[in-house]
Amino acid sequence: MADVIIRNTKNLKGVVCAPPSKPYTQRMVIAAALSNGVSRLSNPLVSEDTEATLRAVRALGAEVCVKDDCWAIQGTDTVKGAKKPIDVGDSGATLRFMIPVAALASAPSAFVLGKGLEKRPVAPLLDSLKHLGAKAEVVKTGRKTSIRVEGGGLNGGKTTMPGDVSSQFVSGLMFACPLAKVDTFLTLTSPLESKSYVLMTENVLSKHDVKVDISEDFNRIKIAAKQTYHPVDGKVPGDFSSAAFLLAAAAVTDSKVCVKNLDYGSIQGDKAIVRILKQMGVNGDVREGQIEITSSGGPLSAVDVDARDIPDLVPVCTALACHANGTSKIHDAERLRLKESDRLTSLYTELSKMGAEIAMDESGLIINGPCKLHGAIIEPHNDHRIAMACAVAALRAEGETVIQNAECVRKSYPQFFTDLHMLGVDVVGWELDR
């Protein structure tokens, strides 16, 4: 366990690169693993979650050669059952994507869940798979929880699932059902949230010559059977979800910061952070492959954030709202209670420690700013986005803020504290990220 201290920092300046996208890396790895041939991924994200995805595809028959900033993945046209239980850590995407893929194998597989992942929902996916001829169940052995997938292949057919629990359930079927015996027809029983992640999956599949038909209202998806994944080389784009914390750090200080490796044309819902910052009065200059933030460090304008399609931006928007004039509202964020932590409660608890005037209801947060923040000891609840959000809030807090168990950022952005330090943030203990 490692602690990081963030001290009040008035000025930031410099150029950093956004980390590679975690969701793109995971999707590209899985599509490559299902392709009959070698695909090369350049600029992949190396993090706890992407390493979990690599473990999973290797266990199911793919071969991976890691060299410098390129992963060469030899896919398999026949998914194999895992000989040993697959440790997916706390990676919800790895688990939810790979359960349907494991159902394609002739032999059973088991996925071992980390403690944080045990609390996150998976039942809607398992129920949906039953309709498609696959059996998977939760198994408790002592203190360990695992998911056992029987294997035997996917029949395809008609199935349903809610669209407002996790879009990852939908993406999981999109990966596996092109290899089913008959066409799959998925109907969502509630409106789909986080649509951009489903579109991201569709985009990755299309590059491997796999087609999925999504209705205009996102309520119905048809996946043709007996398709073939073809190998393809690709570069992982930079991640707006992670870069949002760098852009926010610049916004709340007297700064001129350039974040490179950001393609505003990529299919990432969290590029909405640029629009939100502009609504708050921050000058964000979008150029080819980069975004530059110029800020005086003065109070921002309050904002209203609908979180249905951008849940991962809620932590950073909450931190920004603490430095905004007026009442900011973050709503339609019920799903955040089912993330790595109950993020609404985590944000309310930890930012309150720092003196934030913040209220919480079942589906959102209300922040009355600007808040006179002070240093505090922060417990991020083993949640990378809580740790990073509190680090941003701490930049304008009086005194110093201690973020305990700061290594949780390795889930998505291992170099976060290093990059803050490069921009001029007074960080103590940042060596843990080297």
The tens digit of pLDDT for each residue in 212-260 reads 999 999 999 999 999 999 999 999 999 999 999 999 999 999 999 999 9
* pLDDT given for residue 1 in this prediction: 64
Fold of 22-224: UDP-n-acetylglucosamine1-carboxyvinyl-transferase; Chain (3.65.10)
The tens digit of pLDDT for each residue in 162-179 reads 999 999 999 999 999 999
* pLDDT given for residue 366 in this prediction: 98
Q: Give the residue among 196, 49, 188 at the shortest CA–CA distance from 124.
A: 188
> Residue 62 in contact with residue 32, Cβ under 8 Å?
yes
The tens digit of pLDDT for each residue in 39-83 reads 999 999 999 999 999 999 999 999 999 988 999 999 998 999 999
Cα atoms in the 13 Å half-sphere on the side-chain side of 364: 13
Residue 112: pLDDT band by 50, 70, 90 thresholds? very high
**Residue 430 pLDDT exceeds 70:** no
270, 312, 419, 433: which is the annotated catalytic residue? 312
312 annotated active-site:
yes
186 Cβ contact list (under 8 Å, min separation 6)? 128, 159, 160, 161, 170, 173, 177, 220, 221, 222, 223
**Residue 18 pLDDT exceeds 80:** yes
> Residue 420 in contact with residue 395, Cβ under 8 Å?
no
Which residues on adjacent β-strands are paired with residue 325? 301
Residue 434: pLDDT band by 50, 70, 90 thresholds? very low
Q: Tokens for 428?
A: 């103590």
> What is the percentage of the chain residues whose pLDDT exceeds 90?
94
The 8-class DSSP code of residue 432 comes to: G
Q: Could you give the residue range(s) of every CATH 3.65.10.10 domain in the chain?
A: 4-19+238-433, 22-224
**Residue 211 pLDDT exceeds 80:** yes
* pLDDT given for residue 325 in this prediction: 97
Q: Determine the average pLDDT of the residues in 331-354.
A: 96
* pLDDT given for residue 429 in this prediction: 87
Q: Is this structure's pTM higher than 0.75?
A: yes
The tens digit of pLDDT for each residue in 254-309 reads 999 999 999 999 999 999 999 999 999 998 899 999 999 999 988 999 999 999 99
Which residues on adjacent β-strands are paired with residue 15? 258
Residue 433: pLDDT band by 50, 70, 90 thresholds? very low
Fold of 4-19+238-433: UDP-n-acetylglucosamine1-carboxyvinyl-transferase; Chain (3.65.10)
**Residue 183 pLDDT exceeds 70:** yes
Please, what is the average pLDDT of the chain? 96
* pLDDT given for residue 70 in this prediction: 97
Crossing angle for the helix pair 195-207 and 22-33, nearest 10 degrees?
Answer: 40
Q: Give the residue among 96, 56, 97 at the shortest CA–CA distance from 80.
A: 56
The tens digit of pLDDT for each residue in 383-423 reads 999 999 999 999 999 999 999 999 999 999 999 999 999 99
